[in-house]
Amino acid sequence: MKNKKEYDYSRLKGKIRELYGSDSNLAYELGWSGPLLSLKLNNKSGMTQDDIIVLVDKLKIPYSEIHSYFLKEKPKIDWGNATRRYSK
């Protein structure tokens, strides 16, 4: 089974808060539900090319910066080799 890619939308979330104050304010402006936008920003629902185009336009993201807002992958953690530290 293929692992689904997860994207780091932290820069996108910051831009949304900078311009709209909250995810729900932007969702309302786009005619989307708040939960739908939340699902997309948290990698629970896919971000389509149409979604990206709408968000780039609404948030005035320069085309040269699309990659850093939408295509930056979250680092994968290899839990088999991860070590845990326990404090006493």
Domains, the chain, ordered by start: 10-70 (1.10.260)
Averaged pLDDT for residues 29-57: 96
Q: Is the pLDDT of residue 1 over 50?
A: no
Token pair belonging to 67: 């990659």
Q: Which amino acid appears at position 53 of this protein? A: I
| Cβ atoms within 10 Å, residue 16 | 22
- pLDDT for position 4: 78
Q: Among all chains, which residue has been given the structure tokens 């932007």? A: 26
pTM for the full model? 0.81
Helix (H) or strand (E) holding 12: helix 10-20
Rounded to 5°, the CA angle 65-7-17 comes to 65
